Amino acid sequence: MIGGKHLSQRTDFTAMVRGATPDVVLTGVELLSRGLDEARPGAGDVVVVDVGGATTDVHSVVELDPEDSGLAREVVATTAVTRTVEGDLGMRWSAVSTVSEAGLDLTDAAERRRQDPGLLPDSADEIEVDEAIARAAIELALKRHAGRSKVVLSPEGRVVERTGKDLREIDLLVGSGGALRNGADGVVRRVLLPATGEHDGGWQLPRAPRVVVDRDYVLAAAGLLAGEHPEAAYALVQTLILGADE
C-alpha cells in the first residue's frame, strides 16, 4: 500500500508508475482465467482475494451463462470481469472497522494494529488474532462481492433474485496478501477455506474450488508484463494454474 507506507512521496515516483496495483492485478487475473489461446488455456472461472493492511480486494473473472438470464434477475448488473476494493477491511489501518463489522471481541488488539501498522505477531496469541482478522476480512469481502440469491415472486412467476456476482461454481480461488503468504502452517485451512462451501443466508460464495496462494505475488508482475510480454506473463500465471492445492 504505497500511500500508507509513504512510498509515493519521491519526486520521481510518477515516472516509475505503470498502473494502479488493483488494475494491474486484475489484468493478471484475466490472463490466469482465460489464458492466451486454445493452446495456452487459462484456469477457467477465477476469484482472487487479496487481504492487505488497509483494504481487501476481490477480483473475479467468471463467464456469465446466457441461459441463466431467464431464471435469475440481477438487482445490480454484473460483468464477467469485476473488481471490488473494500476500504474498511484490512489487517492494520482498517483492523478496527474489520473486527467491528465482523462482531469480533478484538477491539483493543485491532486498535494496537491501527496505531502500529508495522506490528508483527510475536506469540501464538498474536498470530491467532491476526488470523481472526484476516479470516473476517476475507469472508466479508467475498460476501460483498458475491452477494446473495433468493427466490422471489414476480409478475413473471418465481425467479431467483441476485444482489451480487454468483461465485458458487468457480474453478479456482487464489488467496493473496501477507497474512496468507507468510502465515503459519495450516493458515489456508484456518483463514481462507472458511469462506468457501455452503453458507446460510443465500450467500453466493465459492462451493468447492481449487485453492492456491499467490505466495510469490506473480499476478501483479503478470499484469505488468501482459501487454508487451504476454508469453512471460503467461509463464508466471502458469505457476498458479499448475501449483499444488493448498
- The pLDDT tens digits for 162-175 are 888 999 999 999 99
The neighbour count for residue 133, using CB atoms within 10 Å, is: 28
Burial grade of 146 (CB within 10 A; 0-12, 13-18, 19 or more): buried
- In this structure, are residues 241 and 32 in contact, taking their beta carbons and an 8 Å threshold? yes
Q: pLDDT tens digits for 116-167?
A: 999 999 999 999 999 999 999 999 999 999 999 888 777 777 777 888 899 9
pLDDT at 72 over 90: no
Residue 5 — very low, low, confident or very high, per pLDDT cuts 50/70/90?
A: low
Q: Where are the domains of the chain?
A: 20-36+43-241
The CATH architecture that domain 20-36+43-241 belongs to is: 2-Layer Sandwich (3.30)
**What share of the chain in percent tops pLDDT 70?**
86
Q: C-alpha 224: how far from its chain's center?
A: 19
Residue 221 — very low, low, confident or very high, per pLDDT cuts 50/70/90?
A: very high
pLDDT at 211 over 90: yes
pLDDT at 13 over 50: no
